[in-house]
Amino acid sequence: MKKITLLLFLTLLSLTAFAKEQTVTLEVPTMNCVTCPFTVKKALQNVDGVSSAEVTFENKLAVVTFDDEKTSVKALTEATTNAGYPSRVKE
């Protein structure tokens, strides 16, 4: 029984090892005031899997670090759009 428990534990542990943290830069061109980044940042932080979000008004950019097993770039852009600030991946 102990061997089975150990095997299950190791299997679950190895599955999380495949998750990879990603960083993406989003352009958020519709931010038009200095308080807009607060709303965008909050929307991004509410997405499951986001570990950090830095949003700047001056550059109209959001740099987001996230777990690619829990979320996607599409989910991030949808979150900003739903908050009233459409975004796209910076080329």
CB atoms within 10 A of CB 68: 14
Interatomic CA distance for residues 45 and 65, integer angstroms: 10
Interatomic CA distance for residues 6 and 42, integer angstroms: 40
Give the pLDDT of residue 20: 84
Q: Are 21 and 67 in contact (CB under 8 A)?
A: yes
Q: Are 41 and 64 in contact (CB under 8 A)?
A: no
All structural domains of the chain, each given as residue ranges with its CATH number in brackets, are: 19-89 (3.30.70.100)
Residue 22 amino acid letter: Q
Interatomic CA distance for residues 27 and 47, integer angstroms: 17
Predicted structure pTM score: 0.78
**How does pLDDT run across 10-53, given as a tens digit for each residue?**
565 555 556 689 999 999 999 999 999 999 999 999 999 999 99
Q: CA 27: distance to chain centroid?
A: 14
